[in-house]
Structure 1
């Protein structure tokens, strides 16, 4: 009986030892599988925190230009003030074309007379043609043809004049201006107007009325139907100049 109990105790001891060994092996095997699973599973990537972007300095908005500055830029540049020489040249009166012809021709002695009579004739738009002695212009007659075109003058349209100037001495000159002016007015109406201005009748030459105007002109009135042709004559003489 004791032997049987000892045998059963030995068997139980052996079985307990085997069971302990088996359990230990199973535990180590499970640990190895867990480690292997951990090794096979890839590690989750570590996210790096984003780098902060460098701050970009913003340009300040452009300030609108004030209206005064814009107007100053748009305004045209002022032209420089003329020099004293240019101002003097602009201040001098321009020589009329009929007087220029006399000076350019070389008729210096009669140039003042031509200028005086030309001022009487050319009181409107005009054109001029001159004739003179090309060899000795200052010792011979100088004469001009003038054509006039009246604008805005009631009763007047076109007219013509003849200007003649001749040296009397090397220092003096005489001249005459003859004007032919057609008018739509009647000769009676023109004579009445001249009389109201101070004109005086002189003689009737061959039925043609002749008057002396207040300006010293000799005026003849030539009837032409219901209109009239005014023919006037003016003389001028220069004073001798001392040498």
Structure 2
């Protein structure tokens, strides 16, 4: 490809994608509201920009064939705080990608778009929206917009419902939700290089023996995860407290996000849960 644009390039996950994406295109243009990384790759340029600024995003999209959109606030906040980066920012990315003639947007969606669904229900990629937070609602908004842009304008999209993406599983819940950094890269690479995707939803999850969701309906995407959280089960399970089956955080795909008040950090709740485990 000639050019890939990566938003959220300085974030925890976006920073893991810079090098692999740089190998898939002549030019990688990375962008973030934060300042540029200390060192850029040989074929990488960087533009500091606010996702809510349509003119700025449109300018950096020129000539892009593929957009990997990982820029956002990655946690629950008040609706007002999320409005610019997560809601308006998603619109500006799709609108600017369309105006630039891009072929596809690969989007960092989240399990929290369906976070109030039951964990034990065995969901595939067709599970309907059931957000657990304003953050999850922003992912529903972007997924619905992505589908509309595909159906009305022909702009492809792959929406990755990322679960628990960390270097190692952090708690017992992660035995079914974990996405390794290596599998994250494999998932994004597959989403970029698959010839035709239309509008596709994919679960961002590794090959966990206890996975609560399934990508069996989208084999055409060519995503083949290699890592399995079960390798950490012996360490995680003995340390865990006896689960309470009446606890909605235990029963819901969104975990603690399902029970924290709207606007209150779900990431902080997950950290507390991991510390207790």
The bucket for the TM-score relative to the shorter chain is under 0.3
Higher Cα radius of gyration: 1
The structure with more helix, counted as a fraction of residues: 2
Give the TM-score, by structure 2 length: 0.20
Give the TM-score, by structure 1 length: 0.22
The structure with more strand, counted as a fraction of residues: 1
Q: Which has the higher contact order (CA 8 A, sep 6+)?
A: 2
